[in-house]
Structure 1
Amino acid sequence: MDDYILQLRKANLIESRNYLQTLEILEQIISMFQNDTTNEMRVTRDSKILMSRIAYLKNLKKSPSSRLSEKPARNQIKVEEQFKEEVISIELDHIISPIIDDVYTMLMNNESIEYKDYLSFYKSVHTYLVEDSKPIVYESSEIAYFVGDTHGSYSETILMITYFEKILQKFPEAKIIFLGDYVDRNPFDLENLTLIIAFWIKFKKNVTLIRGNHEDPKINDAYGFIDNLKENFVIEQWVDDLYGEILKIFVNLPIIHILNVTSNHGTSVRKIFSVHGGIPVNNDHPEEAILLSDLEKNLHIPVNSYENFSEYLNWLLWADPKENLDGYLLDPNTGRNQFGPDIFNQFVKANDIDIVVRAHEVLKNGFKTFFNDHLISLFSTSYYKNRKIGDGAFLRIFEDKPFTPLPIDPTFLEQDLTQF
């Protein structure tokens, strides 16, 4: 079957003149996919592409004015069905747009979603976004979870969110912070991103999404997300419209999360600084630690792409820790500057920070500590570039107890829930 699909792609029948024959072949292949129970994912990358093409062809077939025996110019393709949004005002935290609730349920059940529903979903999401987004989010909680890069690892995100739903039943005030990089590198990045955003909207009091270096149009164009959208949705205008809505979210995401960890009596016990990349460094005066109060004044969003990043934004979204480095190291070629323990210690001491949690680096075990366990790095997917690389992990910080890395394993997570 794989060889057959490969030949179909090479022939590029979707661009041929015989639309009816193409539709018949595609439907036959979809039938083969539906009878294939060996796939880990119920909807595979290839079947999603083919189903999108079938929907497109059927739309042409239904249109009385379409000449199915001829290839229409791209700018002549018309979509007969108008996209309708169902958005209701928020009066209570748990009341949300039906499309958001429906998409969340479908994705948690690993069900396919049509283009019109994706577009309606993302347009609805903007109803819940604060117009004057702040670059730094401040919160307090006795328990918090941190998720590193997920990079389109949809199946593992389902596992984590299933676990989080149960945690929120036990700890209604728990905080869950996603540290960016929701797309690129894996084929199911649209599903992964959409599920995380739906989870965020459904549990707005509990969930925070911050920006990673892959929430960026230049990066998306180079590392897979745009290509995946084009493969899923064959009409160029559809891709442009959907990505335009997604980009509005990307550029307005906060950059930093500050968590005041409290005891069950409300006493402050720890201060956690979380970010996608690294700590901010003043390149001209690296010996001067940057204070959060000054950083907030000089950190502005939205910013469209890394090409327009300020010096601080580049450090926060792109930098990496380096254990045996004195001071810092600039890397203008990749943008991935490095900072050593002395620079790090200056920053956390000046701002009374106990732990820094970050993501950004591929880790085969999903978890690594630096600088005497005061910096924790997370990678929350075991798949990278669509292949297995190791084990993903996420992090729990609970009152003044030792921090706990949690593997993305359903058996382990089910057992973990029994301790509460």
Structure 2
Amino acid sequence: MDNTILDQLISALLAKSKHIFDEQKSPKTSITPKSGKKKSLGIEGVTEQNLLKLAHAVREVFMMEPILLQVTAPVTIIGDLHGQYEDLLRYIKRCGRPPETKYLFLGDYVDRGRHSLETISLIFAYKLRYPDRVFILRGNHECSRVNRIYGFFDECKRRYSTRLWKTYTDCFNCLPLAALIDSSIFCIHGGLSPDLKKLDQLNHIRRPTEVPDIGIICDLLWADPDNTSNGWVENERGVSYTFGVNEVDKFMEKCSVSLVVRAHQVVEDGYEFFADKKLVTIFSAANYCGEFDNAGAVMQVSEDLVCSFIILKPYGSEKVPPNEPETKTDPETGNEESASLSKTEK
């Protein structure tokens, strides 16, 4: 897929933003215009053939990458988006487009939200166009057994075809599972695993692969930290485990990392620390599913590994315009400061 076609695809996806923001204000707008002709449900200016070519091409990029990515700071880390395309666009507007800004995505691009196709397709397109500036991890919803049920299959079938869904899920089976930023910050979608004794184990996992019911892959995508857990406890989700502070400490000592970054859980402020700031959860979909009234957040890691957060307030916030990213500012000096800081050692 040459860069000219890719740039046109990215432009078409970005042009979709105004329509989506209008939908957000008037979600019940009819899809049938006055002419009586049925309006296309696909992405305007984007054919199914272009999306199929995109998926096939980016799949090859994923297969050439290690399953444990090595990423250098500075980098902006984005958590769960779940088809909330407008949130992705606002983060990009605030933090900068690739290649100006380097991004690491932690998974769960699809399901539940209204625009999974736009969300995953723009991320795929940026990855293919700027492979050294955009890095993509697999989430538990990048799995056919999950997104067959929670919305992505139905969206693909309704807007294009089941063939597109199958092609995208084949692509998901090739995604990397983890990233290591400057040999110090370990990033995954879900959590840790009792079977993961050293990071080099990940490089022995063969792709493409489905998500098994147990084991390292399952845990990296499904596990959750829990203050009440001592060791490894069966997860209430019915999949994988919850793990306590002690397991975070053990992992960091074994693997010589200074911070664990994960997504996977809705948190009220968009980010939440655990284990005395040794682990942080990032959730980027604000007002998740229109029900949770949570803020969204992304984490920015500077060149010297100082971590700060950009906050996306839930809809209807009185402090900032609805869903506009906010960086807190010191009222005396006017200097920007993050909502919370964590400095890690190189």
RMSD: 2.7
Q: Aligned partners of 1:159, 1:406: CA distance in 2, in Å?
A: 11
Matches of 2:144 and 2:72, distance apart in 1: 33
How far apart are residue 384 of structure 1 and its match? 2.6
Structure 2 partner of 1:157: 88
- Mapped to 2, the partners of 1:290 and 1:136 lie a distance apart of 14
Distance 1:165 1:378, change over 3 A: same
Alignment check: 8 A CA contact 2:213 2:239 kept = no
1:407 paired with 2:314, answer: no
| Equivalent-residue separation in structure 2 for 1:161 and 1:202 (angstroms) | 16
Task: Return the offset for 1:311.
Answer: 0.5
CA apart distance, 1:135:
1.5
Is it true that 1:247 corresponds to 2:191 in the alignment?
no
The alignment partner of 2:148 has SS state of helix
Q: Letter of the aligned partner of 1:256 in structure 2?
A: A
**Structure 1 residue 362 and structure 2 residue 266: aligned?**
yes
Cα distance in 2 for partners of 1:204, 1:414 equals: 32
Write 1 or 2 for the structure with the bigger share of helix: 1
Tell me if structure 2 keeps the 8 A contact 1:326–1:342: yes
* SS of 1:199 mapped into structure 2: helix
Deviations 1:312-335 (A, max 9, x none): 111100000012321111238620
CA distance in 2, matches of 1:105, 1:413: 27
Q: Is the 8 A contact 2:273 2:279 kept in 1?
A: yes
TM-score, normalising length from structure 2? 0.78
The 1-side partners of 2:325 and 2:140 are apart by 32
SS in 2 for 1:279: coil
Structure 1 match to 2:181: 259
Shift in Å at residue 278 of structure 1?
0.5
Aligned: 1:328 with 2:242: no
Q: How many angstroms apart in 2 are the aligned matches of 1:104 and 1:415?
A: 33
User: What are the ranges of 5 or more consecutive residues in structure 2 without an aligned counterpart?
Assistant: 20-41, 313-322, 337-346
Tell me the residue number matched to 2:13.
107
Residue matched to 2:192 = 279
Is the CA contact 2:140–2:222 (under 8 Å) kept in the aligned structure 1?
Answer: yes
Aligned residue identity for 2:310? L
Q: How does 1:3-402 map to 2 (within 5 A)?
A: 87-88=1-2, 96-98=3-5, 100-110=6-16, 113-114=43-44, 117-128=47-58, 129-130=60-61, 131-141=63-73, 143-165=74-96, 168-169=99-100, 175-233=102-160, 239-260=161-182, 271-282=184-195, 290-297=197-204, 299-304=205-210, 306=211, 308-331=212-235, 334-387=238-291, 389-400=293-304, 402=306
| Shift in Å, 1:373 | 0.4
Deviation at 1:387, TM superposition (A): 4.1
- Relative to the length of structure 1, the TM-score reads 0.65
Amino acid at match of 2:326: F
Instruction: Write the distance in 2 (CA, Å) between the matches of 1:194 and 1:108.
Output: 11
Q: Take 1:120 and 1:127, find their aligned partners in 2: how far apart are those partners?
A: 11
Task: Give the fraction of aligned pairs with identical amino acids, expressed as a percent.
Answer: 26
Aligned residues: 297
Deviation at 1:301, TM superposition (A): 2.1
Aligned to 2:344: none
Tell me if structure 1 keeps the 8 A contact 2:273–2:281.
yes
Give the direction of change, closer, same or farther, for the CA distance of 1:163–1:204 in structure 2 (3 Å limit).
farther
What is the Cα deviation at residue 369 of structure 1?
A: 0.4
Q: 1:372 to 1:414 in 2, by over 3 A?
A: closer
